[in-house]
Amino acid sequence: MPKQTMTSRQRLLTALDHREPDRVPIDLGGNQTGIHKFAYQTLLEHLGIEDDLVIMDAAQQLARPCEAVLERLRVDTRYIAAGAAADFKGDIVRTERDGRAWHDLTDEFGVRWSMPEDQLYYMDISHHPLANAALGDVADFPFPKGDDPGRFAGLRERAVALKEETPYAVISGISGVVYELCWYLRGLEQWFIDMLTQPEFCAALLDRTLAFWLDWFRVFLDEVGDVVDVIMIGDDLAGQQGPLFKPDFYRQVVKPRQKELVRYIRSRTDAKIWYHTCGACAQYIPDLLDNGVHILNPVQVSATGMEPSDLKVRFGDKLVFWGGAIDAQHVLPTAAPETIREHVRKNLTAWKPGGGYVFNNVHNIQAGVPPENVVAMYDAAYEFGFYD
C-alpha cells in the first residue's frame, strides 16, 4: 500500500486546485454528506466504537460522527456551522394530530417540520406559512434577521481551533439556500404553479431570501472568511430524469439571484464554493460555472446523463466533483461488500485523473445501509484512491 505524504488539508486543497494529491480526499459528516442516525448506530456497533448520538440535522435526522469514526474511515474534512438567532428556541414539540403522535419543529421562518413518532426517520414539512399569501404579503412577511449576532457566537474560535490545531480541511455547513427556501415557505405544488402563473410572486420571494443570505454571509465572512476552506451552498434544481422546472425560468429568474450571492461570497473570501443539487443536473453545469461555483455535489451517478466518465471529460478541468462514489439507490444499500468495492474502484478510475475530485457517497448514508457496506465503501476509497 502506498504511503500518505500530505496532511488532510493539503490533500483537499491540492485536489480543489485540479492537481493530483497523494490520494483522493475523503469526506463524511456534512448536511449533504452525512449519515442517518440509524445507519450510524449500526456502524458504531460494527466498529466497536462507543459514542453518544448527537443529531446535527433534525430534518434529515443525521448523526454527528465522532472523531473515532472519522479517523477509522480516514476522513479528511471537518465541518463547522453557524447557529440560529439568539432568541430562537428550536425545541421539538410532541403533538397529536389525526390520531397519531408527531414530533414537530418550527424553524425561524415559521415552516413546521414534522416526523411521526412511530416512524422516526425524517421530518417533512407540515405547514407552509406563505401557502395562502398574495404578492402584497411577501414584503410584510417577518423574515428572521440573517445578521443576528447570536448565529455566529463562538464560530471563529471553533473554526480557528480546527485550522490551527488539526490537520483537517475546514468546511462550512449548508447555507445560501436561495431557491428551496421559497417553496418551503410556499409549498412545493403552489410554488410550481406560481412559476407558471405569477413569476412576479416568485421574484419577490426570491429577493427576500437573497437579502436574508446576503445579510447572513456578511457576518459569516467577517468571522471566518479567512479560515474556511470550502463554503457549502445549494438548491436542488433537478430530479432523476432532468430539471425540476423549466430551465428558462431558472436562467431568467433564479440564476441571477444565485449568481449575485456567489459573486458576493467570492468577493470576500478565497474559499471554494460548493454547490449542492441532486438529480440529472448536467445541463445546468455551464450555468453554475458562470455563477462562479467551483464544486458540484453530490453528483447523482444513477440519474440521467450523470455518467462519471462523461462528466469528467466534459467538465473535469473546470469543476470539482464531490461525491459520485457509488449508486446510492441501487447498489450501496443491497449489494455485497465486494460489489461495493468494485463500484468504488470503477468510479474512482473515472474521477481521479488530474485531481478535481473529493470522495463521498451520493448524498447521505441512509437508514438500512449495512455497516459492512459503509466500511467497504470507505476502505475502497482509501485503497484505490492513491495516485501513482
Alpha-carbon 309 to chain mean position: 23
Q: What are the Cα distances from residue 165, in Å, to 123, 269, 271?
A: 36, 21, 19
What residues contact residue 220 under an 8 Å CB cut-off, 6+ apart? 82, 151, 152, 155, 172, 175
Contact status, residue 183 vs residue 112, Cβ threshold 8 Å:
no
Tell me the pTM: 0.96
CATH topology of domain 8-84+152-177+207-384: TIM Barrel (3.20.20)
To the nearest 10°, the Cα dihedral for 115, 118, 120, 123? -10
> Which pLDDT score is estimated for 61?
97
Q: What are the Cα distances from residue 106, in Å, to 32, 62, 154, 300, 305?
A: 21, 18, 24, 30, 37
What residues contact residue 98 under an 8 Å CB cut-off, 6+ apart? none
> Which pLDDT score is estimated for 388?
86
Closest listed residue to residue 174, CA positions, set 323, 380, 50, 31: 31
Contact status, residue 56 vs residue 63, Cβ threshold 8 Å:
yes
**Tens-digit pLDDT profile for residues 245-304:** 999 999 999 999 999 999 999 999 999 999 999 999 999 999 999 999 999 999 999 999
Whole-angstrom distance, CA of residue 153 vs CA of residue 169: 21
Whole-angstrom distance, CA of residue 123 vs CA of residue 158: 28
Reduced to 3 states, what is the DSSP secondary structure of residue 97? strand
To the nearest 10°, the Cα dihedral for 262, 265, 270, 272? -40
Whole-angstrom distance, CA of residue 285 vs CA of residue 310: 13
User: Which uninterrupted H or E stretch holds 125?
Assistant: strand 124-127
What values do phi and psi take at 375, rounded to 5?
-65, -40
How is the chain split among helix, strand and coil, in percent rounded to 5?
40, 15, 45
Contact status, residue 124 vs residue 114, Cβ threshold 8 Å:
yes
What residues contact residue 21 under an 8 Å CB cut-off, 6+ apart? 6, 10, 11, 12, 14, 15, 355, 387
Q: What are the Cα distances from residue 327, in Å, to 24, 53, 107, 234, 303?
A: 19, 27, 32, 21, 9
Q: Where are the alpha helices (DSSP H) in the chain?
A: 8-16, 37-47, 67-72, 135-138, 155-165, 180-186, 188-197, 199-224, 247-249, 255-268, 285-291, 308-315, 337-351, 371-384
Closest listed residue to residue 293, CA positions, set 310, 274, 306: 274
**Percent of the chain residues topping a pLDDT of 70:** 100
264-278 burial: b if 16+ Cβ within 10 Å, else e:
bbbeebebbbbbbbb
Reduced to 3 states, what is the DSSP secondary structure of residue 49? coil
Contact status, residue 360 vs residue 27, Cβ threshold 8 Å:
yes
Whole-angstrom distance, CA of residue 372 vs CA of residue 43: 8
Under-50 pLDDT residues of the chain:
none
